[in-house]
Amino acid sequence: MASSSDQLSSSKSLSLRFKQTALCIVPPERLCGEIDRLRSFYDQTYGRWPPHVNLLYPFVAGESLPEATALIGAKLKAWNENFGPPDISILLDKADYIAPGKGNLVHLVPRSLGDGATLQHLRNVILEALGQDDAAKYNPHLTVGQTKAHNDHSRDSLLSKAQLLSAIEWKVERLVVLIRENARCKGSKFTRMRVWGTIDLSGRVMINDIGNPCDEESWYNSETVFGKLSGPEALVGEEMTTYQFPLDSHFWRPCAKAVDEDATREPNPDIFAISSYNVLVELPYPPPRERVSSKESQIRSLYKFLDQNYPKNPCIIAGDINIPTSAITIQKAIDERLLSPEKAKVLPRLESLLSEYRFQDAWVIARAGAKDLLSAKVRIQRPIEDISEGEEGATFDPKQNPLAAASAGLEGRPQRYDRILTDRHGNLRVTEFNMFGFPDEDMDIPYHCNIEDETAETRFGSDHWGVRATFKVLAESQIADTTADISIPSSLATPANLSDKHDLDLCLREHSMVPTKEDISKRTAVLDLLRNVIIHGSAARVDENGHSNNEPDIAMVLVPVGSYGLGVWSPSSDVDCLSIGPISSKIFFAIAEQRLRRAADSGIRILRKVKAATGTMIELEVNGIKCDLQYCPAARVVEGWQRISLSPPDDPIFDLSYQALTKLQAFRDLDYIRRSIPDLAAFRTAHRFITAWAKHRGVYLSRFGYLGGIHITMMLSRVFKLFCGEVRVTSTDMIYRFFQYYADFDWEHKTVFDPFFFESTPRYRRYANEPMVILTINVPLINVARATAGSARTIVEELRRMAQLMSDPDMTWSKLLNSTVSTLEPSEEFLTAYSSYIKIHVQYWGISLAKGKTLLGWLESRCVRLLNDIDRKLPSIYARMWPARFSSKDAMSDDSEYQGCYLIGLTKRETEGTEAMTKEERKQSLDLMMRVLEKFKTQIQEETKYFDPTTAWLDVTHVKQSELGALKLDGRDWGECIPTEELSDSEDEEEANIFLPGGGIVFFGPLDRGFPGPIFGQAPDTSGGLGWNPIFDWVDLVVGYDDRFLGSLEIPLDNWKTEQTDEEFIPQHRILYFRRKSDGVVIWDRESKKDLVFGSGVMPENQDVGFA
C-alpha cells in the first residue's frame, strides 16, 4: 500500500500557482470569537476568508482539486498505516508582524506542542504527495489585520491588541480546502473563499457540494465542516470571561464567578449605572467594505438571541458597535473606492436597525433632554464649524486623543462607535449620560493633539472615551405618564432621490448659504474685537509719553446669540451679540458707546441706536460685518457664569425681572438647543436649507408675520427630537420630515414646543388672534410667531406645496430651490397671481439716510396691524404680503430720492357653503377696505417721530394687477451710509458723566459688593411674571387701573388686553395695582411700592415673595 502510494505521488506533479484555491487549517469556531472580533475591525479579508493558517497558498487549479485531494488523502492514509495517526496540536499565544512591502501584516504565530508532528513536517508530506519540493521558506501565521506602511504607531497599536488576545490551543484533525467564487447577495457582487472540501488527517476526503450559498451569518455554516445552524433556536450564548479593573491593582483581571448566584443576588436598585470602556479595538480608517457586509447579520443575530432568551426582560446593550458615523469618513471611503456606494447605503440601514427593533440609544435620549453632561462641561473645545454630520458625541476622536490618532492618523475623523442601547418601551428611563477616560482635570486637551506625544499612554487610558449611562427604574404608572403628552410621528422614509447629502451641500453652496473659511475667520475676529472693546476697553494705546492707556475691565460676558451663536448663519447674516453684566442698561450703553467710538480706527462704526419696548440695541458695522449689540442686567448670572449651563431652570440665579429674563432668554434657549440636538451638523445643514426655501418662496421675515430664524429653530428642533429615537438623524432625513410633519400639523389646536424640556403640554394661554403658536423654552413663555390669519395660511400652503414636490421621484435638491413649475421667480409669480393688490407706496428725499431707514423699519413693523385689520374686518378676503420692497426700474436708477412700494395680494377666501357676493355686498366690502386703508395711512402719517411730511410721502391704495406697472425687487440698502454723529444721546451721556467723572471709566469691583437693593418692578414686568409664575392663579387676580374719565377701575386679569390693535387695549402705565379676588390681598401696588411677585421695592416684614 505504501509503495503504491509512493508510485502515485511520484508519477504526478501538480502546479502550485493558482490563487483561486488554498489548503489551510481553520481553528474550531468556539475558539475564534475574540480573534474574529479583532479581524472584523482590521483584517481587509474579513468576510472573505475564515481565520486560518495556510499550508499551501497558492494551491492547485480548481479543476485539479479532486486529483490533488486524492493524492494528499492517499499520502496521509499511508502515514497513518506506517507511523500511526498524526498528533498535531497548535498553540496561538504570541503576536508578531511582517512587512511584505505595501504595509504591515500583524498575525498570531502558531506553535506545535509536545513531541508530535509539526506544521512544517505536515507541509512536507503534502508537498511530497503533490510531487513538489519545498523550495520556499514556510512562515505559518494566522492573520489578524493590516496597517499602512511607514505607520509604526498604527502597527504597534494593533500589535499590542493582538497580544492581549487569550491564548487558544487545539488538536488539528482535518485540513480545509478553499476555493474562490463569485457571489451575489442583496444586489451586491463580491468574491469569497468557499469551503470546497476537507481532508481528515486519517486520509478521508469529503467534498462539500452545497453550491454557492449567500451566507453572511458565519464561516462555520457549512455542514461538511462544523455542522449547520438549524435556525433561531440554535442561537445560544457563548461563555466568555468577564474582566474587572480593581483600583488597587490597576490591572484587568477575570471576575470570580459566584458559586451560588441566588445567595449573592441583591435587591434591584431604583437607580443604577451602566458603563462601557473600550480597551481593545477600534475601527481602521477608512472602513473596509468587508466589515459592512457582515455587520447587519451580527446585529440581527444578537436581537434574535435576546428575543429567544429574554423576551420580557429589560435589556441593555453596551459596547463598541463599530459603525462608522462621520459623513466625511464615509464619503472619503467612497471617493477612494474603499467602499462602494451600495455598501455606503447599508450604513444608515444599520443605524435604523438599532432602533427599529426595540432599542433606543441612551446618548441620543440623554442628549435630547440636555442630560448629556459632557456637552455642558465644555472641557473639550471644538470649533462648531469643524464638526461634520455623525461626529457629535464621538467616542473615538483622533483630533483630541493621540492614541486614536496613532491608529487613524491626524486626518481621521471623530466617530461615535461606543453605544449604550436600552429598551424603548421598557421601564428604564435614561436620567444622565457622560463620558470618561479624559486626562486629569488640570490637564487641558488641545483641539489638535500631538501624535508624537510620548506621555499619551499615561495621560489617556484608551483610544476611546468611555461611556456611562444612569437609568431610573419606573413604576407602571410612571411609564404611562411619561408618554402621555408626546405623540411620536410615524417614521417617514426619505425618497432615494433626496438621500444624497453631497447633492444637498452643492445646492446650499449654489445659493450662498454655506460660509467659507474666510467668512468664518472674519466673524471670529469680529467677535473677538467686540469682546475686547466692550469688556476690556479699546485696544491698548500708548500716549505721547509712552504710557499705556489701557482701560480697566468690566465684570461682564459677551456671547453670540441668534443664527451665529447656533452656527446656522449664512454669509449674509448679521452677528447678534448679548452682553450680560451687573450694571444698569443705561450705564452699559453709555460706556459701550464711548468705547466703540474710541475703537473707530479698528474698523468699528456705530450705525444707529434703537430704543424699543423690549430694550435698547446698538447696530454696528465691524470690518464690514453688521452686528447687533443688546444688554441684559443680571449680576448673579455673571457670578455663576461657569455653571450657567448646568443650572436648572428654577435656579435662584434666574430670579430676574421680566424684561431681563426676556433678554437672557435669547442665550438660555440657544444654549439648551445647542446642548440637546443629537447632531448639530445635520441641524445646521437642515436649518440652512429651510431658511433658503423660506426666503425663496417669500415666507421669511417675522416682522411681516412670516417665519424667522427663531421660528425655524424651534420647529426644526422639535422634529429632530421627535425622531431622535431612530438613532441616526441625517440632514436629508430631517428636511424631508420637517415638511411632511408640518404640512399636516394642526396649527389651530396644537402648539409647537420642545417635547423633552416639557414633560407635558406647557401652560400657555392662547388668544383668539394667534393662528400659530411657537413657544420659547425657558420662562417667560412667549409665542414667537407673530402670524396673522393670512400669513399663517400662506405658510401652511407653502409647506404643503413643498411636501408635495418632495414626493416627486424625479425631484432633486437644486430643483426644490429653483422655479420648477414656472420660469418666473416666486416674486415675479406673486406680481401676476392676484387680480388686485394693496399698494403701500413710500418716497423719501431727506438728507439723513438714517431717518430714511428708520422710516422704512417703522412702516414694515406696522404692516402687521394692517393685515390684522383686514383679517378681522374683512373675513372673506385673503391677503398675502410679499416680505420685500418693490420698485420700478426708473426709481432704482434715481439717486436723488428713494421710492418703493410694498404689495399685498388680495383674493376671495374659499370656504364651503358661502354664496357669491351681491353687487351691494361687494360695494360695502370695498368701502370698508378703503376705510381700513385710510386709517392705516393716517396712523403712519401721524407718527411724527418717524414720518416727516417735509422729507417723505406715503400713499396706500387699492389697485388692479394691470396698474402695477413694471416692478422688480428693490435690493438697495437705504441706510448704508449712516453718519454716526447723528446718533448721540445727550441724556445717556449726561447719565454716564455722573458715574464717569472726567470721561474716565469706573472699574466695577467684585460682584458681591457695592450693588443697590432691588429696584421696584414695573407693571409690565409684573403682569408678564404673573403669566408664567405657577404660584399665582391667573383667574383669581384683578387689575386696578386709572381710567381717564371714570378714575380707578378694576378688570379681571384674564380679560386684560396686551395687543395694541385690540379695541379694549389699555396702556400698562395706567396700572395701579394687582389684587387677589379670593382674599383681597394686594400683591403689587404702584403708590406704596409693594411687590410680592418679585420682592422688589418695599417689602412688608415677615413676608415671603410669591406667597400662595
Give the residue with greater pLDDT, 32 vs 299. Answer: 32
Q: What angle do CA 495, 416, 465 make, to 5 degrees?
A: 170
Q: What's the pLDDT at 179?
A: 93
Give the residue with greater pLDDT, 400 vs 619. Answer: 619
Give the residue with greater pLDDT, 524 vs 1095. Answer: 524
Judge whether residue 838 has pLDDT over 70.
Answer: yes
- pTM of the full predicted structure? 0.73
| Alpha carbon distance 533, 539 (integer Å) | 7
Long-range contacts of 164-169 (CB under 8 A, 24+ apart): 164/280, 165/34, 165/35, 165/38, 165/92, 165/95, 165/108, 166/34, 166/241, 167/91, 167/92, 167/93, 168/27, 168/31, 168/32, 168/35, 168/91, 168/92, 168/93, 169/89, 169/90, 169/91, 169/92, 169/113
In the chain, the domains with their CATH numbers are 2-227 (3.90.1140.10), 267-484 (3.60.10), 503-816 (1.10.1410.10), 826-969 (3.30.70.590), 1019-1091 (no CATH)
The continuous run of DSSP H or E covering 635 comes out as helix 635-639
Judge whether residue 452 has pLDDT over 70.
Answer: no
The residue-averaged pLDDT of 169-193 equals 83
| Percent of residues, the chain, with pLDDT higher than 90 | 39
Long-range contacts of 592-595 (CB under 8 A, 24+ apart): 592/534, 592/618, 592/629, 592/631, 593/618, 593/985, 593/988, 594/992, 594/996, 594/999, 594/1001, 595/533, 595/534, 595/537, 595/538, 595/551, 595/1001
CB atoms within 10 A of CB 487: 9
Q: What's the pLDDT at 310?
A: 85
For 156, the 3-state DSSP assignment is helix
Helices (H), 640-782: 658-676, 680-696, 709-722, 731-743
984 contacts: CB under 8 Å, gap ≥ 6: none
> Sorting pLDDT into bands at 50, 70 and 90, what band is 912?
low
Distances (CA, A) of 264 to 259, 260, 261, 313: 9, 7, 5, 20
8 contacts: CB under 8 Å, gap ≥ 6: 71, 74
The full DSSP string for 576-621 is EEEEEESS-HHHHHHHHHHHHHHTGGGTEEEEEEEEETTEEEEEEE
Lowest mean pLDDT among 664-668, 986-990, 1053-1057: 986-990
Helix axes 709-722, 731-743, angle to 10 degrees: 100
Q: Cβ(51)–Cβ(162) under 8 Å?
A: no
Give the residue with greater pLDDT, 1020 vs 930. Answer: 930
Only one residue has cell 466673524, namely 523
Task: State which of 147-151, 236-240, 750-754 shows the largest mean pLDDT.
Answer: 750-754
| Alpha carbon distance 452, 572 (integer Å) | 41
Task: State which of 172-181, 684-693, 1005-1014 shows the largest mean pLDDT.
Answer: 684-693
Q: Which of 959, 963, 717, 946 is nearest to 844 (CA)?
A: 946
Q: What's the pLDDT at 236?
A: 56
Is the Cα torsion angle 73, 74, 80, 83 positive or negative in sign? negative
Give the residue with greater pLDDT, 260 vs 617. Answer: 617
Q: Cβ(724)–Cβ(678) under 8 Å?
A: yes
Q: Cβ(786)–Cβ(868) under 8 Å?
A: no
Q: Cβ(958)–Cβ(930) under 8 Å?
A: yes
Q: What's the pLDDT at 711?
A: 97
Q: Cβ(747)–Cβ(772) under 8 Å?
A: yes
The continuous run of DSSP H or E covering 247 comes out as none
Q: pLDDT tens-digit profile of 729-768? A: 789 999 999 999 999 999 999 999 999 998 788 989 898 8
Judge whether residue 327 has pLDDT over 60.
Answer: yes
Amino acid at 1024: G
Q: Which of 281, 324, 326, 316 is nearest to 464 (CA)?
A: 281
- Is the bond leading into 780 cis (omega within 30 degrees of zero)? yes
Q: pLDDT tens-digit profile of 932-946? A: 999 999 999 999 888
Q: What's the pLDDT at 1002?
A: 35
Q: What's the pLDDT at 886?
A: 94
Q: pLDDT tens-digit profile of 360-401? A: 899 988 998 888 876 444 444 567 777 889 888 899 988 888
Q: Cβ(719)–Cβ(729) under 8 Å?
A: no
Q: Cβ(228)–Cβ(222) under 8 Å?
A: yes
Helix axes 341-356, 289-309, angle to 10 degrees: 20
Judge whether residue 144 has pLDDT over 60.
Answer: yes
For the purposes of burial, counting CB atoms within 10 Å of the CB of 713, is it exposed (0-12), middle (13-18) or buried (19 or more)? buried
Q: pLDDT tens-digit profile of 93-123? A: 999 999 877 788 999 999 988 766 788 889 9
For 67, the 3-state DSSP assignment is helix
The pLDDT mean for the chain works out to: 80
The residue-averaged pLDDT of 558-577 equals 95
| Alpha carbon distance 306, 300 (integer Å) | 10
The residue-averaged pLDDT of 1051-1064 equals 76
558 contacts: CB under 8 Å, gap ≥ 6: 530, 531, 534, 535, 577, 578, 579, 580
Q: What's the pLDDT at 935?
A: 94
Q: pLDDT tens-digit profile of 348-371? A: 777 777 766 678 899 988 998 888
908 contacts: CB under 8 Å, gap ≥ 6: 876, 877, 878
Judge whether residue 486 has pLDDT over 90.
Answer: no
Count of CA atoms in the C-beta half-sphere (13 A) of 138:
18
The residue-averaged pLDDT of 805-824 equals 83
| Alpha carbon distance 380, 400 (integer Å) | 8
Q: What angle do CA 1028, 1033, 1036 make, to 5 degrees?
A: 135
Judge whether residue 994 has pLDDT over 50.
Answer: no
Q: What's the pLDDT at 1105?
A: 42
Q: What's the pLDDT at 542?
A: 42
Q: What angle do CA 640, 646, 648 make, to 5 degrees?
A: 95
| Alpha carbon distance 1059, 1067 (integer Å) | 10
Q: What angle do CA 1092, 1098, 1101 make, to 5 degrees?
A: 75
For the purposes of burial, counting CB atoms within 10 Å of the CB of 177, is it exposed (0-12), middle (13-18) or buried (19 or more)? buried
Q: Cβ(860)–Cβ(900) under 8 Å?
A: no
Judge whether residue 274 has pLDDT over 50.
Answer: yes
The full DSSP string for 178-230 is EEEEEEEETTEEEEEEEEEEEEETTS-EEE---------S-TT--TTTT----
> Sorting pLDDT into bands at 50, 70 and 90, what band is 208?
confident
Judge whether residue 231 has pLDDT over 60.
Answer: no
For the CA atoms of 971, 622, 611, 990, the dihedral, rounded to the nearest 10 degrees, stands at: -140
Q: What's the pLDDT at 292?
A: 56
